[in-house]
Structure formats: C-alpha cells, structure tokens
Amino acid sequence: MHAKATREAASVSAAGTLLQLFAADAKRGMKIIDFGIYGQGVDNLGKPLIMQLVIQTTAGTGGGTNTPKKLSRNNADSLDTTALDDSTVWSAEPTDSDILHEWLWHPQGGKEQPLVKEYDIKSGERVAIRVMETPGAAVVCSAYIEFEE
C-alpha cells in the first residue's frame, strides 16, 4: 500500500529529528520510495545544513503523533506504519544507527530525493529525517517520507 507521512511547518532551531516512521507490522516492513524537505528560510547567506535519512533504534522520549496518509485508495486495509514528529519536543532524541542517505539542504530551498534505489526497512525498524546541524536562524520547513507497506 502506497502512503506518505508529512511534517508541515516545523520550526527548526536546533539539530534533531523532524519525522520518524516505525514499521510496526510484525511480519512485513516498508519500502522508502521518496523523501524530501522544503524550507521557508529568510537568510539567503545562511549555510546549507547537513540532513540525513537514518535508521533509529529507539523512539526517543516525547515526539508528537503523526498519522501517515494512504495514497492508494483501492486498498481497504489500514496502515500498519506509525509515525512521530517534532510537533511535541523530544525530551530525549531517538538513537541513530545506520545512515541511509546524507545531503546538503539550504533552508531557503527544497530538496526532493526521488530514489534511484529504494530502501527496505525491516519489520520493527524506525527510519527518520534528521537535521544534523543547528541553523544560523530558526527556519520553518516541511519534510515528508513516502513509502509502501
């Protein structure tokens, strides 16, 4: 089933997790097919930030509930994948494991990352988009991960 989780209007002022998906089904994982981030930065001289698509081994403490949306309307099944985002502050950040993809992103622009290869996420694993550096000034952005179960 094709679905998407989106974090809209995140205010980024420090390094941290923007959006995390959890492959909750006990028998099947998910496949990441697309992800991206778009900013509304005001500092055109600001430096690009390092972003990562990472496997995380914990949910962290805190985080807000994010409900992924089905993009396949022909399937009556419900989604098994769950999501958290930074709409509620993480008092303890999730623990990072493997880096799947790393890129530079300027807060005034967008970075859509259609994949040449898809990333298979095993059942019980978590995958997230993280900002790895503190921006010079807070920036409002939106991030998404598109996936199939």
The contacts of residue 139 (CB under 8 Å, 6+ apart) are 11, 12, 13, 39, 40, 41, 42, 46, 107
pLDDT tens track of the chain, all 149 residues?
Answer: 788 888 887 788 788 899 999 999 888 899 999 898 888 877 777 788 889 999 999 999 989 999 999 987 777 788 999 999 988 888 999 999 999 999 888 888 777 666 667 899 999 999 999 988 877 777 888 889 999 98
Dist. CA 35–CA 147, nearest whole Å: 9
Prediction pTM value:
0.89
Domain range spanning residue 51?
A: 2-148
CA-nearest of 106, 98, 101 to 137 is: 106
d(CA 26, CA 36): 27
Strands 82-92, 110-112: pairing is unpaired
pLDDT of res. 26: 83
Instruction: Name the nearest CA neighbour of 85 among 77, 76, 94.
Output: 94
CATH number at residue 121: 2.60.120.680
In 110-149, which ranges are E strands? 110-112, 119-121, 126-131, 139-148
Q: How many domains does the chain have?
A: 1
Tell me, what's the pLDDT at 145?
92
pLDDT at 78: 87
CA distance 84 to 75: 24
Distance CA 30, CA 11 (A): 28
pLDDT at 115: 64
